[in-house]
Amino acid sequence: MNSEQIIFYILSFWFVASSLAMIFSRNAAKAVLFLVLAFFSAASIWILLEAEFLAITLILVYVGAVMVLFLFVIKMLNIDKSTLRAKFTGYLPLGLIVAVIIVAEMSLVLGANQFGLDVFSSPARHGADYSNITVLAMQLYTTYVYPFELAAVLLLIAIIAAITLVHRNETSRKKQSISEQVNVQAKDRVRLVSITSPSKEDK
C-alpha cells in the first residue's frame, strides 16, 4: 500500500464518518459543522484527483458561503430542540436496508472488474508547469461559454426569487404613495406651538 492509497483511505474514512455523523446528529448546527468536515474531505479527495480549482471552489463557495447561510438560518429560526428529538427512527430500518442494498449493487457494478486499475490505468501525474485553472478556463470560455452565461442568469434569477419570496408582506416594503403626497395639507405636517418665552425681568 503506497502513500497515495493511505491518504485516500484516511480522507475517505473522514468523509464517510462525518457524513454519517451529519445525518444522525440531532442538533442542526452540529450537523452543519459535520457537513463542513465532509466537504473538506471531499475537497481533499478532489485535490488527489488533480481538480485543484474545483476543490478550492468547493471550500470557498460551499464552506464559505452556503454553509454559513445554513448556520445563519439555523441561528435565526431558533428551532425548538424537543421537536427534533421526536420522530427520528421511524424509517431508519427500511432506509438502512435500502441503502445497504444500493451500496452492494453499486459495488458489484463499479467493482475492480469493471473499473479497476487494469481496465482504467491511473494516468500519469502532471508536472509543476500544469495549471488546472488555465485548462478549465480555456474550456469554460470557449466551448462552454453559453452555459457559463446561463449560469450567471440562473444566479440572478435565484437572487430575485429569494428576495421576492422573503419580502412578500406589505409591511416590510417601503413604497411611495403619490396621491397621499399631493393631497397633504400644511396643517398635517406642521404644528405651530405658541411658547411664552421667559422675559429678562424674571431672572
Partner 1 sequence: MVSLSDYLILSSVIFCIGLVGIFVNRANIITLLMCIELILVAVNTNFVAFSHFLGNEAGQIFVFFILTVAAAEVAIGLAILTLLFRNRGSISVDVTNSLKG
In the region spanning residues 55 to 114, those forming contacts with partner 1, defined by CB under 8 A, are 57-58, 61-62, 65-66, 69-70, 73-74, 76-77, 79-80, 83-92, 94-96, 98-100, 102-103, 106-107, 110-112, 114
- Cell, residue 119: 481496465
Angle between helices 67-77 and 28-48 (to 10 degrees): 180
Contact by Cβ (8 Å): 26, 85: yes
Side chain identity at residue 73, one-letter code: V
CB nearer to partner 1: pick between 147 and 184 = 147
Q: Does 172 bind partner 1 (CB under 8 A)?
A: no
Among 64, 115, 130, 149, which residue sits at the site for partner 1 (rule: CB under 8 A)? 115
Q: Does 133 bind partner 1 (CB under 8 A)?
A: no
Q: With contacts defined by CB under 8 A, name the span among 24-32, 173-181, 182-190, 192-200 that binds partner 1.
A: 24-32
Classify residue 103 by burial, with Cβ atoms within 10 Å: 0-12, 13-18, 19+. exposed
Among 10, 64, 149, 162, which residue sits at the site for partner 1 (rule: CB under 8 A)? 162
Q: Does 22 bind partner 1 (CB under 8 A)?
A: yes
Give 155-160's long-range contacts (Cβ < 8 A, gap of 24+).
none
Among 10, 49, 130, 184, which residue sits at the site for partner 1 (rule: CB under 8 A)? 49
3-state secondary structure of 90: coil
